[in-house]
Structure 1
């Protein structure tokens, strides 16, 4: 099977990637705000805050630097403190243990 991304122009691929990113954010923040960042880190090695860091890095690469709070608001769809108050729970001992084990198995890098 041919690589479908080759059928897209660069502009179309960028639009498709942007739409997929927006859908990911909507899924994480609207459909599944119950999924905690620590659980995402354990299972996938990234979380909403990582997405915000990557967003900030991409903006800086385009000459439009953002601060941490602005990048997080772009990812969370609201100020981080507001999202945190509405959705974030304290990590359980089990979550913390799973996070530590995941970090040992797959160190950030």
Structure 2
């Protein structure tokens, strides 16, 4: 298996920023669907950024960095109600995160 730590930090940062921009562009990809497919979503990514910041970012600051706006604003504009099927897929997927 390739060593993830061998990736240059500047390269990793550029790829991370591209991922965040892609997620901002694809607001149609609901968090519940991302969770159902991959076991993580924008909120997870925000949590990881907050944890990596060693206290420099609070939860809302990390979410705003990922969403490109306050989370409440993004949620009101882009997030629909999750269906029972979406929630079931999400629960099944998250269980694989171990």
Interval of TM-score (by shorter of Structure 1 and Structure 2):
0.7 to 0.9
TM-score (norm 2): 0.86
Task: Please provide the CA RMSD for this pair.
Answer: 2.1
Whose RCO is larger (CA < 8 A, sep 6+)?
2
Q: Which residue, out of 9, 12, 18, partners 1:17? A: 12
Alignment-derived partner of residue 55 in structure 1: 49
TM-fit CA distance, 1:103: 3.3
Unaligned runs of 5+ in 2: none
Q: Which residue, out of 34, 43, 46, partners 1:40? A: 34
In the TM superposition, what whole-angstrom CA distance separates every residue of 1:42-101 from its partner, at most 9, and x where no partner exists? 1111100010011011111xxx52110000001111100111111111101110121222
Task: Please state whether the residue corresponding to 1:50 is helix, strand or coil.
Answer: helix
Distance (Å, rounded) in 2 between the aligned partners of 1:96 and 1:27? 24
Distance (Å, rounded) in 2 between the aligned partners of 1:42 and 1:83? 20
Unaligned runs of 5+ in 1: none
Distance (Å, rounded) in 1 between the aligned partners of 2:51 and 2:91? 26
TM-score (norm 1): 0.78
The alignment covers a number of residue pairs equal to: 96
Distance (Å, rounded) in 1 between the aligned partners of 2:39 and 2:63? 18
Q: Which residue, out of 77, 81, 84, partners 2:75? A: 84
CA contact 2:37–2:89 (8 Å) conserved in 1: no
In the TM superposition, what whole-angstrom CA distance separates every residue of 1:5-61 from its partner, at most 9, and x where no partner exists? 86x7xxxx111111111110111111x11001111111111100010011011111x
Larger Cα-atom Rg: 1
